[in-house]
C-alpha cells in the first residue's frame, strides 16, 4: 500500500472564526484516512491549509503504515518542522492522524486497539467554555445569572464537571482583556461574585475548572489563584503564557491549585522541562497541533513517567473529537475529556459522519475501524477551499 494523494479541505461553518482544516490521505488500495490541524478557530486556518498542501508532496509514494518514518521525514526535511511552530506542527498532525486512521481501517480495528487497548469503557467529560453559554452554538454568558444558568443546565444533563473563563466578558458583554500586574478591584469582585454564584448553584460535588486562556501575567495569575482557591477548584488552565516556564514555576510555588496547560505547547521536546520542574500537573496536548496521534501518545507516556495526568485539549471538528476519545481511552493517566460547547453546534456536528455526544456526562469510545469518523459528503462538497495534491 502506498500514498497516492492528499486532499486538503478548509471547511465552511458560516463564520471566519471557525474554519476547521482537515486532510484526507488516499492510498492505492482505496483506503483513506482523515486528520485535522486544530487551528480552525480565530486566526491561522488559511496558513495551516496552505502548509498541508506544501508538505503533502513529501509523502506521496510512501507507506502509510510507516507513520514513524513519515513523521520523521516531515519533521526533519521541512526545515521549519524542527522549530515545532503551530502551523507546521498542525500540518504534520493532520497527516499523522490520517495515517493512524488508515492503519486502523486496513486492519479492521478501532484506533484504541492499536494504541494498546481500552483502560475504560466510558470517558468522564466536562462541559467546556460555559462563558459562551450551554446551548447549541457559541453564545455569550456575560452576566452572572447567565453563567449560573449555563452551569445548572450542564449539570442537569449529567455533567459533574464544568469549565468557565470567569473573565472573558464584562457584565455588559465587552471583553475584559489581558491582566498585567495587580488585578483591579472591580475585576476581583467580578471573579468572586461569578464563581461564588456558580459554586452555590451547582453544589460542592460538581468539579469546577477555571479557564484562563493565558490572560494573566505572573503577578495577576498568583492573585487570581488566591481569589479562587476557597472554591474547591479542580484545576486552572493556561494560567500564563507557555513561552515562559519560570512563570509557571513561580505560580506553582504560590498556589495549591493544580496547574493545567499544553494546548499551545507543541512537540514532546517542548514538554520536557515542564515535566522535570513539575510546573504543570495536568498536561493538555492537542492532537491537531502537537504532532498528531504519534506525538500525543509519546507526550502522554512521558507524563505518566512523571505521575502527571493527561486531558487532551479538544476544540475542533468531529475528526479531532474522535481522535481524542481513542487516545484518552488507551492511556492510564487520563483525567477527564473536554466536551466543548462547539461540539453541540449543528454546524460542527454536520461536518462528520457520526455524532459522539456524551450521555449522562460520559462519552463512549468509537468502535468502528480507524478513527470511526470521517468528513461528511456535505462538508467536503461545501468546503471554502479544496485541493488534491498528487505530486
Ordered per-residue pLDDT tens for the chain, 391 residues:
999 999 999 999 988 889 999 999 999 999 999 999 999 988 889 999 999 999 999 999 999 999 999 999 999 988 888 888 999 999 999 999 999 999 999 999 999 999 999 999 999 999 999 999 999 878 899 999 999 999 999 999 999 999 999 999 999 999 999 999 999 999 999 999 999 999 999 999 999 999 999 999 999 999 999 999 999 999 999 999 999 899 999 999 999 999 999 999 998 999 999 999 999 999 999 999 999 999 999 999 999 999 999 999 999 999 999 999 999 999 999 999 999 999 999 999 999 999 999 999 999 999 999 999 999 999 999 999 999 999 8
pLDDT of 78:
87
Amino acid 79: pLDDT = 86
Contact 129, 162 (CB under 8 A): no
Distance CA 313, CA 41 (A): 13
* All domains in the chain, ordered by first residue: 3-109+375-389 (3.30.390.10), 113-364 (3.20.20.120)
Give the SS3 label for residue 9: strand
What is the predicted pLDDT for the residue at 43?
86
Contact 62, 391 (CB under 8 A): no
Q: CA angle at residue 73 from 71 to 79, to 5 degrees?
A: 110
CA distances from 280 to 76, 112, 249, 295, 297 (A): 28, 26, 9, 18, 17
pLDDT of residue 16: 87
Distance between CA atoms of residues 231 and 238, nearest Å? 18
pLDDT at 391: 87
Strand partners, 370: 110
Q: How far apart are CA 353 and CA 366, in angstroms?
A: 12
Q: Which three cell numbers stand for residue 73?
A: 521525514
- Which pLDDT score, from 0 to 100, does residue 84 have? 84
The runs of H, that is alpha helices, within the chain are 45-55, 67-77, 86-107, 111-114, 144-156, 185-202, 218-228, 245-253, 272-276, 292-305, 318-329, 346-349, 377-381
Amino acid at each position: 500500500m502506498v500514498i497516492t494523494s492528499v486532499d486538503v479541505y478548509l471547511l465552511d461553518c458560516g463564520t471566519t472564526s471557525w474554519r476547521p482544516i482537515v486532510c484526507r490521505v488516499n492510498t492505492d488500495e482505496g483506503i483513506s484516512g482523515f486528520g485535522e490541524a486544530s487551528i480552525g478557530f480565530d486566526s491561522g486556518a488559511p496558513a495551516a491549509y496552505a502548509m498541508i498542501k506544501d508538505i503533502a508532496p513529501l509523502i506521496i509514494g510512501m507507506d502509510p503504515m510507516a507513520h514513524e518514518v513519515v513523521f520523521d521525514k516531515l519533521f526533519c526535511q521541512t526545515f521549519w518542522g524542527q522549530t515545532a511552530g503551530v502551523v507546521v506542527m498542525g500540518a504534520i498532525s493532520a497527516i499523522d492522524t490520517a495515517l493512524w486512521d488508515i492503519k486502523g481501517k486496513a486492519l479492521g480495528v478501532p484506533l484504541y486497539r492499536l494504541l494498546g487497548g481500552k483502560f475504560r469503557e466510558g470517558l468522564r467529560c466536562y462541559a467546556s467554555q460555559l462563558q459562551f453559554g450551554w446551548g447549541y452554538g457559541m453564545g455569550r454568558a456575560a452576566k452572572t445569572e447567565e453563567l449560573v444558568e449555563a452551569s445548572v443546565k450542564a449539570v442537569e444533563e449529567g455533567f459533574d464537571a464544568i469549565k468557565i473563563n470567569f473573565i472573558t466578558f464584562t457584565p455588559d458583554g465587552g471583553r475584559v482583556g489581558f491582566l498585567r500586574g495587580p488585578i483591579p478591584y472591580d475585576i476581583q469582585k467580578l471573579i468572586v461574585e461569578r464563581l461564588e454564584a456558580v459554586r452555590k448553584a451547582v453544589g460542592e460535588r460538581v468539579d469546577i475548572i477555571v479557564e484562563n486562556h493565558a490572560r494573566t501575567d505572573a503577578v495577576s495569575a498568583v492573585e487570581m489563584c488566591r481569589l479562587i482557591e476557597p472554591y474547591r477548584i479542580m484545576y486552572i488552565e493556561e494560567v500564563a503564557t507557555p513561552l515562559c516556564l519560570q512563570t509557571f514555576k513561580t505560580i506553582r510555588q504560590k498556589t495549591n491549585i493544580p496547574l493545567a496547560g499544553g494546548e499551545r505547547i507543541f512537540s514532546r521536546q517542548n514538554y520536557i522541562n515542564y515535566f522535570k520542574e513539575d510546573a504543570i500537573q495536568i498536561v493538555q496536548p492537542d492532537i491537531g497541533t502537537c504532532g498528531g496521534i504519534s506525538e500525543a501518545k509519546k507526550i502522554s507516556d512521558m507524563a505518566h513517567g512523571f505521575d502527571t495526568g493527561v486531558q487532551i485539549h479538544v476544540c475542533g471538528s468531529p475528526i479531532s473529537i474522535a481522535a481524542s476519545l481513542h487516545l484518552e481511552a488507551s492511556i492510564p493517566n487520563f483525567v477527564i475529556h473536554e466536551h466543548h460547547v462547539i461540539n453541540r453546534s449543528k454546524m460542527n456536528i454536520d461536518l462528520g459522519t457520526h455524532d459522539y455526544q456524551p450521555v449522562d456526562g460520559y462519552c463512549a469510545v468509537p468502535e468502528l475501524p480507524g478513527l470511526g469518523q470521517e468528513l461528511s459528503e456535505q462538508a467536503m462538497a461545501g468546503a471554502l477551499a479544496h485541493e488534491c495534491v498528487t505530486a
